[in-house]
């Protein structure tokens, strides 16, 4: 028996926040000093580095668990299964439900429990739990689901990545322009069909790297604001990712007899366009290969960085022909990979 993704779904919020919408923001450095450059210069430089032109924000009355539910509905429908037959619902996120009018994270009950409730699943043996693993959370959920399926603890699993990062950003931090909202979901099953998950790998680096992403106060020290917001040491993350992610991708591939020339697509976490390009280039360099054209589909330009949601939404959008000049065909070998808070890295090799 093989373990395959039999259904996908995504929810892309309708509210568009364009780069020019940040023009009236006052940005500060981490030391509380306002950046001297005009805002349009800051935005132009941001676009050149990240590739982001716009991003999506959830509507005021929506929360992370709502987005997760919308994506889950579509994945279940695509898989053509009865939701009562699900054995596990795993929801990867980082901040829980954060109401638009409150900075407090709400994780009781778990987001997975909320999704199960919204799906009206009565089966008590459908186990619902949350997964905190930074941006690689959805991939880690797939890794865990594969383990349940492989050892026959489950026959069907629903894995969701959902986030509303727009609720935890500091408007005075340039990095706030990176983040967005969204949700992607997948149903995994054991099947006699060929292909499926071929290899997985996960790693956590926590000696010097654990605080590269963290929660901190606003960079505008003049504000009386005790709230905390998502923060990152961008340069350190960039250097870490370039050093470790290609090696993890290679280690995953090396677990199989698949050659790098057999890989048709690399679906990598949409964190930063230049960083992703550098990671893939270094990965191919490990095999003394040039990067093939169209190997790395991108959604970050229009959707921004929605953390755990970027990879499953990208996969779903490609399958539904919503990414220009990109397609996935039956039998294609795909390499999924991600990096994020922890610092965590993971990947899995998959035959569609």
Whether the model pTM is above 0.85: yes
| Whether residue 105 sits in one domain with residue 49 | yes
| Whether residue 214 sits in one domain with residue 78 | no
pLDDT along the chain (352 residues), means of 10: 96 96 91 89 92 95 97 98 98 94 86 98 98 97 97 96 95 94 98 93 95 91 88 94 97 96 97 94 96 95 97 98 93 97 96 96
Of 192, 226, 261, the residue that ends a domain is 192
Of 192, 226, 254, the residue that ends a domain is 192
Instruction: Copy the structure tokens of residue 215.
Output: 């929660």
Q: Which domain holds residue 206?
A: 197-351
Q: What is the CATH number of the domain that holds 15?
A: 3.40.47.10
Greatest Cα pair distance, the chain, in angstroms, is 62
Whether 339 and 313 have beta carbons less than 8 Å apart is answered as no
Of 141, 162, 192, the residue that ends a domain is 192
Handedness of CA 110, 115, 120, 123 (dihedral sign): negative
Instruction: Copy the structure tokens of residue 261.
Output: 């020339």
pLDDT of residue 79: 97
How many distinct structural domains can be found in the chain? Answer: 2
| Whether residue 143 sits in one domain with residue 61 | yes
| Whether residue 231 sits in one domain with residue 157 | no
């Amino acid at each position: 028996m093989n373990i395959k993704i039999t259904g996908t779904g995504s929810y892309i919020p309708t509210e568009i926040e364009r780069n020019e919408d940040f023009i009236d923001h006052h940005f500060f450095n981490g030391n509380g000093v306002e950046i001297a450059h005009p805002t349009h210069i800051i935005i132009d430089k941001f676009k050149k580095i990240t590739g982001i032109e716009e991003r999506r924000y959830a509507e005021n009355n929506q929360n992370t668990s709502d987005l997760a539910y919308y994506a889950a509905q579509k994945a279940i429908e695509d898989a053509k299964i009865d939701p009562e037959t699900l054995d596990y619902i795993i929801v990867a996120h980082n901040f829980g439900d954060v109401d638009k009018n409150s900075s407090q994270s709400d994780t009781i009950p778990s987001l997975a429990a909320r999704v199960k409730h919204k799906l009206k699943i009565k089966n008590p043996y459908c186990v619902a739990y949350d997964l905190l693993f930074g941006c690689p959370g959805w991939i880690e959920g797939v890794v865990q689901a594969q383990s349940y399926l492989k050892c026959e603890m489950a026959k069907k699993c629903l894995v969701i990545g959902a986030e509303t990062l727009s609720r935890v950003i500091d408007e005075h931090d340039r990095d706030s322009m990176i983040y967005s909202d969204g949700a992607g979901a997948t149903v995994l099953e054991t099947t006699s069909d060929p292909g499926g998950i071929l290899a997985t790998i996960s790693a956590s680096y926590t000696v010097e790297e654990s605080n590269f992403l963290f929660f901190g106060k606003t960079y505008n020290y003049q504000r009386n604001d005790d709230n905390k917001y998502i923060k990152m040491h961008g340069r350190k993350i960039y250097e870490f990712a370039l050093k470790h992610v290609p090696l993890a991708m290679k280690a995953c591939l090396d677990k199989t007899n698949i050659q790098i020339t057999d890989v048709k697509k690399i679906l990598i976490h949409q964190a930063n366009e230049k960083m992703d390009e550098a990671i893939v280039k270094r990965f191919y360099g490990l095999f003394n290969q040039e990067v093939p054209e169209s190997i790395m589909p991108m959604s970050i330009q229009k959707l921004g960085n929605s953390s755990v949601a970027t990879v499953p939404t990208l996969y779903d959008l490609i399958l539904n022909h919503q990414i220009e000049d990109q397609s996935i065909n039956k039998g294609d070998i795909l390499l999924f990979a991600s990096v994020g808070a922890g610092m965590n890295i993971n990947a899995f090799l998959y035959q569609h």
